[in-house]
Each structure stands twice: as C-alpha cells, then as structure tokens.
Structure 1
Amino acid sequence: MGLKYVETVKSIVLILLVALSIILTFSIWTYSPRYETIEQFPPVDISIGDKKRIDEIIKPYKMVFNFDDALKGTTDSDKIDRIMEEITDWKITEITTVEENFTSEGISTLLRKPNRFTVFFQSEIPLSVYDSVLKIEAPTPEISFNQIVVEWKPDNTAMTVYFVSKENKKLYSAKVKAEDYQSLDNSILTVGRELQEYREVNPDSSSYLVVSVEPVETIKYTFLEDEVSINKFRDALFSDVNAVRNSQVGIHVEELADDHAMMNVYTEKKTLNYVSPNAESQELAIPSELLINTVNFVNEHGGWTDEFRFTYMDAETRSVRFRLYLHGLPVYTDSSSSAEILPKWGKNRIYSYARPYYRLNSSNPAKSEIELLPPGIDIAESLRKSDKLDIGAVEEITPGYFMKYKPGLFIMEPAWFYLINGNWNRFSPEILGGELIGLE
C-alpha cells in the first residue's frame, strides 16, 4: 500500500510541475513590460537660408549681339534672364569637337563675326552640370565652357550653338532643331536689338573686349546690419553640438571646436572659417563632381543667405567660389569683410568652408538712390591712357558694387571693375595713379 501512495504522489507532483511549466511559459510569452512614455521632439531644423537650383547659381553676367549693322549688349540680369528662358527651351543635339587648340585669336575671330550673339559666364562650367538647365538631347560629354555662341543664318532657319572653353582652348559645336528658330527670330533678336550700344575696345587685338557706349543706370544702397546666428552654423557643421567647445582666442575671434573640426568666427569682419582636417584630400577633383558636391553641401543647410553665383573653380585645390550678387551685379569688397562663399571639397565631405555670416535684406534697404555710372568705353579709354597697366592685358570691364562695411551698416557703391592677371580691381582715377588693389 505504501508503494501505491508513493507512485500516486509522484504522478500528482509531475502533473503539477508540468502545469506550472505551462503557466510560466505562457507568462513569458505574453509578458509586456510597462515603459514610461518618452517625449517625442521634432527634428532640428538646420536650414539657415535658401536652397538653390543650378540655374539660380550658374548664370551668365553679360550678353553681346553682333548684328550686321550694330553691336548691342547688356549686363542687366532681368534682360539676360528673359533671353535665357528662351534658350533653355531649345532642343540641342549633335555635340561635336570643332577645335582642339582654340587660341584667343580663334575666339576673337569667332565672336567678331556678324549674325551671332555671345553669352558670357564668369568661369568654366562643366556641361554635364549645366545640362540640367539646357535641353540636351544627346549624350553629354565631360567638357566645359565659359561662353556660348549662337550663330544664325538670316536666309534660312539653321542655327549653330558653339561652346567655347577659353581655359582648355577647345571649341565644340551643337545643332538646334529648326522649330526653335522661331523663338530666336521672334523673341531673342527682337530683345537684342533693343539693348544698349556696345563697342569693341581693341578691334585689332587678339582678345575680344566689348563695353557699353552709354552710361549705366545703377542704384546705391545702404543696408542695416543683419546677421545669421553662429549657433545655426554650429548646428549645421558639427555632428554633435554637445561636444563643441567655445572659447575666445582673440579680441574679435571666437573658436568653436570638437575633436574632429574647428570653426573660427571673426566677429569684426562678420566671417567664419570651418575646417575638418581629417577630410583633406590632395587628389585631383573631377570638375563636375566638385561643383555638384559643393552646391549640394551648401544646399543641405540652406546656406544661400543672399544671392550668390558660381564664379570660379580649381580642380587641383578642390576649391570653388560663389560670389555675392546684388540685383544681378557682382559685389566686391576689401579686407574689412568678404563677399564670397569658399568651400573646399575633401574626401567625400567638406574639408574647409569660409564665408560671411552677415545677411542683406535686399528687398528692404534703409536707403537707396539712383546713380549713373559713366559709359564703359570711357573707363576703357582711361585704362588705355594709364602708365600703370597694359590695356591689352585687361580681360574684362564690368559694372558692380563695392561694399563698404561700417558697424551697423553695409554701403553698396556702384562702380566699374576690371579684370587683369586674374584679379578684379575697382576703377578709380586715384587708384590708377598708384598701386593696383585686388578685391575680395
């Protein structure tokens, strides 16, 4: 009898253990811990200013029409935009190489011929970047240009587009479909004939330089000082803002740094310079990639605080320049501040980034007054008479603004500027009597 009870007890214990195991397993499967509610914060907005399209950043600064009986041109941004709206609707095909060694003499000969107009850009532009602006119905080669020449034939509907690369000494041609000739004849040439009269400075020279014969109406502006908070640039440029250390390293210099990058802020000049040393690269950049990468970088944090345009690129140093423009005219200044955004691209990311952090409220100046600049041809004649330079070395003469920065005020003075030996200089009779001064 004792053994029977033992077996019975064993069975009961076994049943209880199995039941307990089932209960525990079920409890584990169905267990749901009670977490405290975590507050959800909205994503941090690091946008500082605007994002820009390629056609807003890469823009021509001058157009010149060579008719049979007249030379007409403009630097007026609104008129140039009106013509470019027509050109960007053309269907461009059959891009081919015409000249592999296209010298300055060849360029001048091409531009001097009648029945054509020339679109001037500040720097060489990769066609594979600008094909987002033009309608190119053909494979886009890895070529660059700084002038577009459109040739038309009055006796038929044929048009040829030339892409001129002064830097690489190359000439390329392309065809435009016949149906686009109506746009040229009805709109572009009509606008072209209404432009200001222009004149060539040195008709017998190997270089082609044309300027206005009439005075240029401009506006002198005064703006109240405004600036972007440095914290916005800190948030945009540093990966962990909590790790950024802030220190005063000079009377007008602040330093923000973490273990990977550093940003100096020059409070007197209203400029900053960011550097990420580990991103430095000595590799020769591909121009199209360099330009796109730097534009995308500035777009990522909405860095276009005013109107800036592409003006220069160096694939060897991996650097790009975007100059401040005001109502379509370039802005230059002296060492008291800066009028350029200067990114350098490194290993898959930005290496250095120098720029102003002031902001112009261009639609709401504190003061404005009309000011007439003398004709460009008068400036050319004054330069010709100067014993301080060779007029043959002058590459360009164009109107613009000289920015004077005073605490609390930005004063934009209209002036003529000339390009010589790769540097822009402000024209003034006083300066011509002394040393040439390069501008920022």
Structure 2
Amino acid sequence: MIERGKSLLLVLLVALSLVQSYFLAYSMPSMDAKVKTDQDYVKTEPLGPEEKVEKLLFPEELVLHMGQDKHTVFYPNDTFFHMVLDKLVSREFKSFQRVPADQVNWEQVRKDEAGIEVRFGREIPFDLLKRVYKIDTDFLFSGDSIDRIWIFARPDSGEVRTYFFSADGRNVYESSRADLTVQDVQQSVGFGQYWKPYRYWANGVYIPEQSLPVTRLDVLFTKYTPDQMQRNLFSNPNATRMIQDSKDGTQIYMDSKRGLKIEEAGSWMSYKDPVAPTEGRDDLSENIAAAVQFVNQHGGWNGSFRLVRAAETGSGADRDNAIRFQQYYNGFPIVSDKGFRFGDMQLTIQQGFVSSYERSLLVLESKPESQQDQRLAAGDALLSMIRQAAGGTTVEAIYPAYRPVLSEDRLKLQPVWAVRLATGEVRIAN
C-alpha cells in the first residue's frame, strides 16, 4: 500500500513538472529578447566584398640581384613578380636562429651573389607572415616583426642562405632549413635578364636606367551615399542627427558618442568612435586583424589593397596604433596629393577597438574606359626629381604609382614616381 502511494506521488510530481515547463516555455517572456546588441537595431548592409588578412600582405617590390653588380626590380604589376612570389610561398622555412647583422657582408652579397630581396615596405609580424609563407614560428623570437626577406645562392658550395630582417633593424633571423635549391634561386633571378636594369643609389634604393612604360587611365566610378554609410556605421540610424555646413557642403552625423563626417563633395568620409584609454600592450597582429574585420563589415574592399606603413603624423598614440591600407589599380598603388584624397584607408585601433576610420566613398569600375601609353622618367633625370621631392629628407623607397585626378564622373589615373621618406610620408616626384 505504501509503495503504491509513493508511485502515485511520483506520477503527480512528474506531471506538475511538465505543466511548469509548458508555462515557462510559452507563457513567460523570453530572457533572450531582453538582451540586445548594436546589431539588433539594424541589419548591416553589405557594401563591398570581404577580404582575408593574408591577401593584403603582398610585398611592395622584389629586388633581384644577378651578380656583377647587376640588378632589377619587379613591382606587383609585373608578371615576373607573381611568378617569383608563387614559388616562394610554396616553400618551407624552418629552424630559425638569431644571428648578428654584421655576420654577413651585405654589400658584397648585394654586388656579387645571385639573390632575391622580398621587401614589404612596413613591419609584418611573424604571426601574420605565416598565413602567407610556410614559416616555422615555433622559436624564441617569433613575436618579432620583419620588413624584408633576403635569399641568395652560392653555387660553388651549393648552399642557399635565407635571412629575415626585423623591422627595427636590430635583429636578423636565418632559416637554416629553407626548402630552396640553388637552381630555384637561379631560375627566379634569371627572369631579371629580360627586364630593365637598375642601379644602386643609396639607402637600399634602386634607380631604373631605362624609362618605364605605364598606361594612363580614365576610370568611371560609382559612389557610396551618406545614407548608406550612416546606416552601415551607426547601430541605430534613427537616433542620429545631421548637421550640414552650408559653405562647403560637409555633412556631419552624430549619435550619443560617435561621429561621421562626409566631405569633399561626398567623396571622403571620416568616422570617430572614442575609445576610453586602457592599460596594457597593443598586439600588432590583433590590431591588423581587427582592422580587416572592421572594413569587411563597414564598406568592404572595393578593389585591391595592400597593408602599408602609416606616416608619422599626429600624436605618438595615434601613430603607433594607425593601420593603413593602400589601394592598387592595374597593379600600381594609387597615391593622392593634398588637393584630392583617394586611394587609401586608415584606421586607428587600440587593443582591437576601432576609434577612427577614414576612406574614400568612390568605387572604381574594374576596367578603364580609356587608356593612353606613357613613360616614366629614369636615370639621372629621375634622380633629380627624387632629390627635389625629398627636400633633403632621407628617401626610403621609390615606386611607380598612379596619381588620381577627379573629373566629373571619372578618375584620371596619371602615372608618376612616388617617393616614400624615412618618416613614412609619400610624396610625388614631378
């Protein structure tokens, strides 16, 4: 009798539990509905394609040394650039060790040894570089950043030497187990026999001996609207207010803390989202990855871009946390002057949080409407132009580029030589 009573009580308890579960599931308000994020207010409109970090890390240039003090330079627009690079990214680099920079006579190597310099033009953390190259980063100094790889062969001994240079110039790392043969290096260097000769000038800069053919282009464009960017960047566009400057047409959108400025006749935007200062060390790899992800979600990559060095302007904090991407068209970087801003994105990031974001709102068509052959200066004439543009400041690099000129519904991309100074500032050599 007692056992039957226990069984009946157990059945009643189970039934009561099921009834409670029903009311909790269907009658009580959901706790999840009360937890709202910024994304709940508005669905972000995809404006441009997304990109992966590794696709933005290609080198600024490849310098080929052919021995007997003969050299040439490949840029991203060159077919040979990609042929050499494709071979390098398919090989493995292992067993790293730090060596004294003066252990190798680099001047002698530059003049006499067949080799390849992969120049990035800015510091790239090992942690990001391994996304592109097969690098064994399980070594003591893998937290460092590098800006150059130098590979050279010594046929007499059958050895290939591979060195990674730290961006601060303090350290050199040798990969003693690189998956490259003397024949691999000689084949890549052999492409230079068909290219234009360059002569060494100073500070690692090479000057072409012959003029470079670069096509002048007229390219049509479309434009992101202020409304698109407002809806894309603000969690609740309905809560923003707009202020317009009647003199130059600048529009400013603001909510409780963020601001968006649209200027230059709707062709340029600046976005600010103040981030409270925090203690702790910034991680460059994380900041670069955060910058790429932010652009993926807010505007996208309307063309080809490369991670480049930001100029040393503004406060130290802004400079140290600035992440900049340069736009390329037809294989050449676009470098604007003070009269018209176009061709780059720049973000300021602190521990993964974006506090500022600047970019053009113009979207170039993938193919030019018209083109015209043109040649860039070389030799002593170019050297004179470089010195004038630098104005006594140390020159860090030169490269062919496009200067954009706005003309109604199109951009005129004019071939120029760009000069990057030791400060990171880029000037146009006229």
**Distance between the aligned counterparts of 1:183 and 1:46, measured in 2?**
51
What does residue 181 of structure 2 align with?
Answer: 181
What does residue 52 of structure 2 align with?
Answer: 53
What does residue 20 of structure 1 align with?
Answer: none
**Distance between the aligned counterparts of 1:297 and 1:387, measured in 2?**
35
Classify 1:347/1:115 alpha carbon distance in 2 versus 1 (closer, same or farther; 3 Å): closer
**Distance between the aligned counterparts of 2:207 and 2:302, measured in 1?**
31
**Distance between the aligned counterparts of 2:190 and 2:280, measured in 1?**
48
**Distance between the aligned counterparts of 2:207 and 2:389, measured in 1?**
21
**Distance between the aligned counterparts of 2:106 and 2:183, measured in 1?**
26
**Structure 1 counterpart of 2:66, which letter?**
F
CA-CA distance at 1:87 after TM superposition: 0.3
What does residue 364 of structure 2 align with?
Answer: 360
Classify 1:309/1:377 alpha carbon distance in 2 versus 1 (closer, same or farther; 3 Å): farther
Classify 1:238/1:27 alpha carbon distance in 2 versus 1 (closer, same or farther; 3 Å): closer
Cα offsets for 1:9-65 (capped at 9, x unmatched): xxxxxxxxxxxxxxxx9999989989xxxxxx9x94532212222332111121111
Classify 1:76/1:57 alpha carbon distance in 2 versus 1 (closer, same or farther; 3 Å): closer
What does residue 373 of structure 2 align with?
Answer: 370
**Distance between the aligned counterparts of 1:198 and 1:27, measured in 2?**
84
Q: Does 1:330 align with 2:327?
A: no
What does residue 194 of structure 1 align with?
Answer: 194
The unaligned stretches of length 5 or more in structure 2 are 1-16, 28-39
Q: In structure 2, the residue corresponding to 1:235 is in which secondary structure?
A: helix
- Superposition map of 1:395-414 within 5 A: 395-414=396-415
CA-CA distance at 1:300 after TM superposition: 3.0
**Distance between the aligned counterparts of 1:198 and 1:182, measured in 2?**
23
- Structure 1 or 2, whichever has the larger Rg, is 1
What does residue 71 of structure 2 align with?
Answer: 71
- Asked whether the equivalents of residues 94 and 175 of structure 1 are also in contact (C-alpha less than 8 Å), the reply is yes
- Asked whether the equivalents of residues 279 and 351 of structure 1 are also in contact (C-alpha less than 8 Å), the reply is no
CA-CA distance at 1:157 after TM superposition: 4.3
Classify 1:320/1:382 alpha carbon distance in 2 versus 1 (closer, same or farther; 3 Å): closer
**Distance between the aligned counterparts of 2:18 and 2:170, measured in 1?**
80
CA-CA distance at 1:272 after TM superposition: 0.6
**Distance between the aligned counterparts of 2:426 and 2:352, measured in 1?**
32
- Asked whether the equivalents of residues 279 and 350 of structure 1 are also in contact (C-alpha less than 8 Å), the reply is no
- Asked whether the equivalents of residues 326 and 343 of structure 2 are also in contact (C-alpha less than 8 Å), the reply is yes
**Distance between the aligned counterparts of 2:164 and 2:211, measured in 1?**
31
Classify 1:51/1:257 alpha carbon distance in 2 versus 1 (closer, same or farther; 3 Å): same
RMSD: 3.4
What does residue 416 of structure 2 align with?
Answer: 415
Q: In structure 2, the residue corresponding to 1:332 is in which secondary structure?
A: coil
What does residue 137 of structure 1 align with?
Answer: 136
Classify 1:106/1:125 alpha carbon distance in 2 versus 1 (closer, same or farther; 3 Å): farther
**Distance between the aligned counterparts of 1:298 and 1:28, measured in 2?**
48
Q: In structure 1, the residue corresponding to 2:362 is in which secondary structure?
A: coil
CA-CA distance at 1:184 after TM superposition: 1.4
**Distance between the aligned counterparts of 2:148 and 2:206, measured in 1?**
14
- Superposition map of 1:4-403 within 5 A: 44=43, 46-69=45-68, 70-77=70-77, 78-99=79-100, 111-139=110-138, 141-178=142-179, 180-181=180-181, 184-185=184-185, 187-202=187-202, 207-250=203-246, 251-268=248-265, 270-279=267-276, 284-301=281-298, 303-312=300-309, 316-317=317-318, 318-335=321-338, 336-346=340-350, 348-361=352-365, 363-383=366-386, 389-390=391-392, 393-403=394-404
Classify 1:115/1:278 alpha carbon distance in 2 versus 1 (closer, same or farther; 3 Å): closer
Q: In structure 2, the residue corresponding to 1:175 is in which secondary structure?
A: strand
**Distance between the aligned counterparts of 1:52 and 1:257, measured in 2?**
29
- Asked whether the equivalents of residues 228 and 358 of structure 1 are also in contact (C-alpha less than 8 Å), the reply is yes
Cα offsets for 1:209-252 (capped at 9, x unmatched): 21221211111111224212333322332222332223324432
**Structure 2 counterpart of 1:235, which letter?**
R
Cα offsets for 1:240-278 (capped at 9, x unmatched): 233222332443211122113111111426111111114
**Structure 2 counterpart of 1:222, which letter?**
D
Classify 1:255/1:175 alpha carbon distance in 2 versus 1 (closer, same or farther; 3 Å): same
Classify 1:265/1:208 alpha carbon distance in 2 versus 1 (closer, same or farther; 3 Å): same
- Asked whether the equivalents of residues 280 and 351 of structure 1 are also in contact (C-alpha less than 8 Å), the reply is no
Classify 1:184/1:239 alpha carbon distance in 2 versus 1 (closer, same or farther; 3 Å): same
**Distance between the aligned counterparts of 1:53 and 1:241, measured in 2?**
28
CA-CA distance at 1:280 after TM superposition: 5.3
Cα offsets for 1:65-96 (capped at 9, x unmatched): 11223322222433212211110111110111
- Identity among equivalent positions (%) equals 18
The unaligned stretches of length 5 or more in structure 1 are 1-24, 35-40, 429-440
**Distance between the aligned counterparts of 1:67 and 1:29, measured in 2?**
79
Q: In structure 2, the residue corresponding to 1:252 is in which secondary structure?
A: coil
Select between 84-93 and 334-343 the one with higher mean Cα deviation. Answer: 334-343
CA-CA distance at 1:144 after TM superposition: 1.1
Classify 1:27/1:270 alpha carbon distance in 2 versus 1 (closer, same or farther; 3 Å): closer
CA-CA distance at 1:113 after TM superposition: 4.6
CA-CA distance at 1:396 after TM superposition: 2.1
Q: In structure 2, the residue corresponding to 1:189 is in which secondary structure?
A: helix
CA-CA distance at 1:99 after TM superposition: 2.7
When normalised by structure 2's length, the TM-score is 0.80
- Asked whether the equivalents of residues 390 and 421 of structure 2 are also in contact (C-alpha less than 8 Å), the reply is no
Cα offsets for 1:140-190 (capped at 9, x unmatched): 601111111012121354322211234343211113445x32771574233
Classify 1:225/1:382 alpha carbon distance in 2 versus 1 (closer, same or farther; 3 Å): closer
What does residue 424 of structure 1 align with?
Answer: 426
CA-CA distance at 1:199 after TM superposition: 0.9
**Distance between the aligned counterparts of 2:250 and 2:201, measured in 1?**
46
Q: In structure 1, the residue corresponding to 2:49 is in which secondary structure?
A: coil
